[in-house]
Amino acid sequence: MSVVKSDSVGWLLDHLAYINQSYRYCHHIPPDTRYHQYIFKAEYFDIERPHIVDSEKAGGQEPGSGDSRLKGRKRKRKSREPNQGELEAQGYHEKVSQAIWNGTRKLIGQSMEVGEQDTNTRAPAGGERAKKQITPVIASSMLVELCSMAKQMVQEQHQPVQVIRNEAESTENLNLLGRLTENDSDCARIVTLMGQKYLLPPHSSFLLSDISCMEPLLGYKKYDVITLDPPWENKSVKRSRGYSYLFPWQIQQIPVPALSAPGCLVVSWVTNRQKHLHFVREELYPSWSIEVVAEWHWVKITRYGEFVVPLDSTHKKPYEILVLGRYKGNSERQNGEPITKTVTVPNNKLLVSVPCVLHSHKPPLGEVLKGLTRPNPECLELFARNLQPGWTSWGNEVLRFQHLDYFQELDTMEGDSSCCCSPSDPVVPASY
């Protein structure tokens, strides 16, 4: 379970606990008959202090109470008039900041009142524990290059989906490039790509390809939920060259209507740049026959409940935007009755969580979207960098954060397949 606390203003989430419920007992490569327990390394969620320290008060200033600056540092900047984009961004922030402040404080306060000791809300106890060194997994960054190489190779057309059906089935000779792969077993599995090992959650499927090779997804399933986190073009991305980006017209070419079931709920992660927000609401969604129905915010906090940067910081904001929309395809009918019922999506909800330090590792949305689609929905994540049980994932780095080096192995269980966990099994994150 990812939801720690639910309220009318939104949800307090535990992203780490959600990941760990999927890898408790993972069958290793045959003929090894043991089951191995894996958890995601807790240091990737170990954010104890804000990235920018507020000089006024811990947790960030209440909106409108003053300017947020880097503590102990003075910068001389040439004064200039803000441009139109900056004015729009400031206006947007002024409109949403008070609700974000009040809602976040309410969720954290309620969690503390009932005595829930989770990684999001615990107060410091005595001296701080030593922080573990975060070592980047270099091998996981080669997936983009592999996808590019695969396009140059002659591949068989219309390849069937390759399915891993049980824990006894070998995963040694799977072709993972440009081919839909499905782990249909009840346990997580380990697969190998170019000598590197990756963990697949149970009942998950993925397509490792770039935007020019999405054909295997078409005809596989129609989806009730589609989430996407596009690689938006911006100045910092261009400077850092940390990942490739897409122009808006390229994002618009993604065949979302062909992948959507009637009434599909589409959720887009959007940066705080107003240009991108306007594009999604006014161009992208209309071109896909999607009607905007709500706007939510993901609020990033430390383990002690502070904003990761002050709420009124002029450099960055501690929140990101989610735009939710409904695909307006014709409702399917069975015996003359519509199958798809449109459920009203609540507006202005908050998702509050400790973020992962790994870039673009977004919190899970499946649990908070329950009730807004049909029961047992088919779910798809576009531009994914990790996998989720019960979801189909696509992207040119879709296995990036499934690399085995991001996980740590705990004790092992000798070969009784009944030890495989179900999603409802309680999991205690390693950070407790």
Q: Tokens 């993604």 — which residue?
A: 254
Q: What's the pLDDT at 329?
A: 74
Element (H, E) at 188: strand 188-193
Q: What are the CA-CA distances from residue 412 to residues 37, 147, 170, 381 (Å)?
A: 6, 34, 20, 32
Q: What's the pLDDT at 421?
A: 44
- The tens digit of pLDDT for each residue in 251-268 reads 999 999 999 999 999 999
Q: What's the pLDDT at 11?
A: 96
Q: What's the pLDDT at 197?
A: 92
pTM of the model: 0.85
Q: What's the pLDDT at 381?
A: 98
What DSSP string runs through 362-430?
PPP-TTTTTTSS-SS--EEEET-SS--TTEEEEETTTTGGGBGGGEEEEEEE-S-GGG---TTS----T
Least confident of 46-50, 73-77, 146-150: 73-77
Residue bearing the bigger pLDDT, 34 or 218: 218
Q: What's the pLDDT at 376?
A: 92
Nearest to 270 by CA among 261, 258, 278: 278
- The tens digit of pLDDT for each residue in 262-313 reads 999 999 999 889 999 999 999 999 999 999 999 999 999 999 999 999 999 8
Q: What's the pLDDT at 60?
A: 57
Here the tokens at position 198 are 């990756």
- Which band of pLDDT confidence, cut at 50, 70 and 90, is reported for residue 194? confident
Domains of the chain: 3-66+86-124+140-410 (3.40.50.150)
Inform me whether the pLDDT recorded for 429 exceeds 50: no
Here the tokens at position 287 are 């071109």
**CA gap 151, 97 in Å, rounded:** 45
Mean pLDDT of all residues belonging to the chain: 80
- The tens digit of pLDDT for each residue in 151-190 reads 655 454 567 899 988 766 677 778 898 899 999 988 899 9
At residue 91, what is the residue type?
A: G
- What is the sign, positive or negative, of the torsion defined by CA atoms of 361, 366, 367, 373? positive
**CA gap 68, 312 in Å, rounded:** 6
- What is the sign, positive or negative, of the torsion defined by CA atoms of 212, 213, 218, 221? negative
Query: How many other CB atoms are there within 10 angstroms of residue 117's CB atom?
Result: 10
* Three-state secondary structure readout of 141-169: HHHHHHHHHHHCCCCCCCCCCEEECCCCC
Q: Which stretches within 29-83 are classed as H helix?
A: none
- The tens digit of pLDDT for each residue in 65-123 reads 655 444 444 555 566 788 888 889 899 999 999 999 999 999 998 877 544 444 444 43
Q: What's the pLDDT at 140?
A: 63
Here the tokens at position 213 are 């090779």
Q: What's the pLDDT at 115?
A: 45
- Which band of pLDDT confidence, cut at 50, 70 and 90, is reported for residue 17? very high
- Which band of pLDDT confidence, cut at 50, 70 and 90, is reported for residue 351? very high
Instruction: Please state whether the peptide bond connecting residue 346 to the residue before it is cis, i.e. omega within 30 degrees of 0.
Output: no
DSSP state of 90: H
Q: What's the pLDDT at 124?
A: 38
